[in-house]
C-alpha cells in the first residue's frame, strides 16, 4: 500500500510540471522565451552582427580599398626587386667562386692572361667530349688558346665566335700536346684515341723505347711548339703499353675529367706564346 501511494504522488507532480510548461510556452511567456534566447541565440547574434558590421564598413569605404590596392602594389614591386637582387647575388657569388678557383693559377703563373668561362653546351654527337664555353672573340679568345681548370689541362680552343668558343678536349685525337715526365724527363706527345677516350684516358706517344717512366709519374706540358705554356699539369701515368707497331706508349689519366666539367679558364696569353722550339722524336 505505501509503495502504490508513493508512485501516485510522483505521477501527479510530473503531470503538474508538464502542464505548467505547456501553459507558459503557449501563452508566450516572455521570461521563458527570454531565458532561452539569452542563453543560446544572443551570443551568436552579437558575433554575426560584429562580423557583418566590419565587412560592411570595409565595403562601404572606397578609401580603404584603394589603400589596400596601393599597399599590395608596393609589396609586389618590392618583391620583384628583391627577387632581381637575389638573382644578381647568385650570379656574383658564382663568379667569385670561379675566380677564386683560378686564383692559384694566376698566382703561380704571373704571365698568364686568363678568361674564366662557363660550359654552356655539349654536342651529343661529339665523340671526344668537346664542349662550348660562354666566352668568345669579344673577350680576347683566339683559336688554339689552351684551356684548363684548377686541376690541369683540358684542351684547346678549336672554334671561336663572338660570344662563345668550342673546346676540343685533350682526350681527342685532334689534340697534340708536347709533354714531359717530371721525374724521368722523358718526353712525348699526349693525344686521345677512340679506344680510351670514353674512359677519360689520354695516350702519350712518340716516346723513347728506352724510357724509364713508371706508373704514378706526373706528366706536364713541355712548352714545345709555343701553343701551351710549360709545366701545366696534364695527368698521371696510368699504365705502360705498346701500340700496334710495337712502339711503347704510356696511358695518362688526366687530373681533370673533361666529361663532366662545368667551368674552365682560357689562357689567352702567356710568356713564350708562339715561340716554336725544335722537337725531335727520341730514339
Spans of all domains in the chain: 103-269
What CATH class does 103-269 carry?
mainly beta
198-224 tens-digit pLDDT: 999 999 999 999 999 999 999 999 998
Question: Within 10 Å of residue 119's Cβ, how many Cβ atoms?
Answer: 16
Q: What value does the mean pLDDT of the chain take? A: 81
**Percent of the chain clearing pLDDT 70 (strictly above):** 72
pLDDT at residue 32, as a whole number: 47
Whether 120 contacts 133, CB under 8 Å: yes
DSSP 87-114: HHHHHHHHHHHHHHHTHHHHHH-TT-EE
With 60 as the cut, is the pLDDT of residue 254 above it? yes
Alpha-carbon dihedral angle through residues 85, 86, 92, 94, given to the nearest 10 degrees:
-160
Neighbouring-strand partners of residue 118: 263
The pLDDT assigned to 41 comes to 46
Nine-digit cell at 263? 667551368
pLDDT digits (tens, 9 = 90+) for 162-182: 999 999 999 999 999 999 999
3-state SS, residue 244: coil
Mean pLDDT within 227-238: 96
pTM of the model: 0.66
Dihedral, 175, 260, 134, 114 alpha carbons, nearest 10:
-60
User: How big is the chain, counted in residues?
Assistant: 283
Long-range contact pairs involving 63-66 (C-beta distance under 8 Å, separation at least 24): none
Q: What is the dihedral of CA 108, 110, 111, 116, to 10 degrees?
A: 80
CA distance 42 to 126: 81
**E strand residue ranges, the chain:** 113-121, 131-133, 146-148, 153-160, 165-169, 177-181, 187-191, 202-205, 218-221, 233-242, 248-254, 263-269
DSSP bridge pairs for 153 = 148
With bands split at pLDDT 50, 70 and 90, how would you rate the model's confidence at 123? confident
The C-alpha atoms of residue 177 and residue 65 are separated, in whole angstroms, by 73
Q: Give the angle subtended at the CA of 85 by the CAs of 84 and 91, to the nearest 5°.
A: 95
Rounded Cα–Cα distance for residues 124 and 106 (Å) = 33
Amino acid at each position: 500500500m505505501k509503495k502504490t501511494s508513493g508512485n501516485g504522488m510522483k505521477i501527479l507532480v510530473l503531470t503538474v510540471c508538464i502542464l505548467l510548461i505547456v501553459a507558459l510556452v503557449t501563452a508566450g511567456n516572455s521570461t521563458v522565451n527570454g531565458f532561452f534566447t539569452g542563453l543560446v541565440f544572443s551570443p551568436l547574434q552579437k558575433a554575426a552582427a560584429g562580423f557583418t558590421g566590419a565587412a560592411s564598413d570595409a565595403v562601404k569605404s572606397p578609401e580603404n580599398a584603394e589603400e589596400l590596392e596601393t599597399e599590395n602594389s608596393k609589396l609586389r614591386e618590392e618583391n620583384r626587386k628583391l627577387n632581381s637582387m637575389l638573382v644578381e647575388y647568385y650570379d656574383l657569388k658564382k663568379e667569385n667562386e670561379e675566380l677564386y678557383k683560378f686564383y692559384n693559377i694566376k698566382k703561380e703563373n704571373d704571365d698568364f692572361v686568363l678568361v674564366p668561362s662557363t660550359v654552356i653546351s655539349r654536342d651529343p654527337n661529339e665523340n671526344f667530349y668537346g664542349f662550348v664555353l660562354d666566352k668568345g672573340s669579344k673577350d680576347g679568345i683566339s683559336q688554339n688558346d689552351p684551356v684548363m681548370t684548377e686541376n690541369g689541362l683540358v684542351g684547346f680552343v678549336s672554334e671561336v665566335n663572338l660570344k662563345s668558343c668550342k673546346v676540343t678536349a685533350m682526350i681527342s685525337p685532334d689534340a697534340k700536346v708536347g709533354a714531359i715526365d717530371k721525374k724521368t724527363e722523358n718526353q712525348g706527345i699526349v693525344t686521345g684515341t677512340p679506344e680510351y677516350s670514353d674512359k677519360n684516358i689520354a695516350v702519350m706517344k712518340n716516346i723513347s723505347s728506352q724510357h724509364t717512366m713508371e706508373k704514378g709519374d706526373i706528366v706536364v706540358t713541355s712548352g714545345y711548339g709555343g701553343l701551351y705554356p710549360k709545366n701545366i699539369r696534364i695527368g698521371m701515368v696510368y699504365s705502360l703499353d705498346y701500340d700496334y707497331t710495337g712502339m711503347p706508349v704510356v696511358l695518362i689519366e688526366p687530373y681533370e675529367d673533361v666529361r663532366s666539367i662545368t667551368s674552365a679558364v682560357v689562357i689567352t696569353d702567356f710568356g713564350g706564346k708562339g715561340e716554336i722550339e725544335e722537337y725531335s722524336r727520341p730514339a
